[in-house]
Structure 1
Amino acid sequence: MSVIAPRLGMPADPTPEQAEVVAEVVAGKRGKVPAPMIPWLRNPELARRAQRLGELLRFDTSLEPELSELAILVCGRHWTSHHEWTAHKRIGLAAGLDPRTVEDIAARAPSPYIRSDRERIVLQVARTLLAETRLDDALYAEGVAILGETGMVDLVAILGYYCMVALTLNAFQIGLPDSFAPELLDTEAC
């Protein structure tokens, strides 16, 4: 991958609506403007609603932080989203993910290192849903048995949101070249 620059930056002369949304997110749990919000600011209401959903899914689901981050990393790897991967690798490790798990996901290992049934089911549901767009009855039932109905809903919502994030980051080349992740150079589907 050659060195590339972001296609969009923060608006140089923000509108009052853009400034209001930026102030809201900076005052929230993140304390800063998240990278995908940079292009979203071209539609301030999209930026407002998307960042609120992202804040909910990042900080306030029924899943433990390391499980949310595991799902986000699977999504970032699936889309080869360098900035998403780089940011959430750091967050995931800080939340307690094992470095071997992170390395295995980056390498698309068929059987990544996992430490619990909860990690296993998050990984399996995320990979299956991203690759096949559906869950068979057995995997769905196992997911509900391990994560509960709310956990499954939260997991699917995290995956959907972070797919939007990955596609936004990729389309507008946000975070590059600074967040380039050489471990993601293999672009085969996971």
Structure 2
Amino acid sequence: MRLKLLSPGEMSAEQKETYDESIAGKRGAAPAPMMAWLNSPQMARHATRLGEQLRFNTMFPAKLSEIAILVTARHWTSHYEWYAHKRLALEGGIDPRVIDDIRDRRTPVFDDPRARMIYDLARSLHEGHGVSKPLYDEAVQVLTERGIVEVIGLCGYYTMVSMTLNTFEFGLPDGEISDLA
């Protein structure tokens, strides 16, 4: 870890207010990257609010949102993000073979066309830096424009999370080994 993470007793009033707001939210705990973001308390506040919105209040159930998050974690080889969201993906009902395929950079087989579209959009956003017209048109039909916006939000937010975790070298919990090479 490159950064000393503050305990609540070491935080400024503004940092503590942001921290307290975060633990009072739907997560019930401060997300790991927020502990780094507290160096910029207002950024931490807004980023954490956005993260809560994207995790819990999109049109997608967790099973679908986690696909975009895992594709993002894999794209950035974010070991901590992968570790955290692999568990959430399994709890949300994603087939372990889909998770393994994303980890190994193979295209998974999906039984839900929405899942496949989220995967295709996330890959295109990360690898192609955008979305082709045919993929966009198909995504509008499968996910709606709101769905496209929310997949972009998930990929963008979790890119920031991955960059934070990677930059400050957040480690896995003791005894855990990364699945990512």
Q: If the length of structure 1 is used for normalisation, what is the TM-score?
A: 0.90
Kept in 1: contact 2:75–2:126 (CA 8 A)? yes
Gap regions ≥5 residues in structure 1: 1-5, 186-190
1:127-138 equivalences under 5 Å are 127-138=123-134
What is the letter of the counterpart of residue 116 of structure 2?
R
For 1:10, the equivalent position in structure 2 comes to 5
RCO comparison, higher one (Cα < 8 Å, 6+): 1
Kept in 1: contact 2:124–2:130 (CA 8 A)? yes
Report the identity percentage.
47
For 1:29, the equivalent position in structure 2 comes to 26
The alpha-carbon deviation at position 56 of structure 1 amounts to 0.2
For 1:3, the equivalent position in structure 2 comes to none
The alpha-carbon deviation at position 116 of structure 1 amounts to 1.3
Pair 1:44-2:41 in alignment: yes
Gap regions ≥5 residues in structure 2: none
Kept in 1: contact 2:79–2:179 (CA 8 A)? no
1:68-79 equivalences under 5 Å are 68-79=65-76
What is the letter of the counterpart of residue 169 of structure 1?
L
What is the letter of the counterpart of residue 175 of structure 1?
G
For 2:146, the equivalent position in structure 1 comes to 150
Q: If the length of structure 2 is used for normalisation, what is the TM-score?
A: 0.94
For 1:188, the equivalent position in structure 2 comes to none
The alpha-carbon deviation at position 40 of structure 1 amounts to 0.2
The alpha-carbon deviation at position 115 of structure 1 amounts to 1.7
Q: Residues 149, 179 of structure 1: CA spacing in aligned structure 2 closer, same or farther, 3 A cutoff?
A: farther
In 1, the alpha carbon distance for the partners of 2:175 and 2:11 equals 25
Kept in 2: contact 1:83–1:180 (CA 8 A)? no
Q: Residues 93, 142 of structure 1: CA spacing in aligned structure 2 closer, same or farther, 3 A cutoff?
A: same
The alpha-carbon deviation at position 8 of structure 1 amounts to 1.8
What is the letter of the counterpart of residue 26 of structure 1?
I
Q: Residues 160, 181 of structure 1: CA spacing in aligned structure 2 closer, same or farther, 3 A cutoff?
A: farther
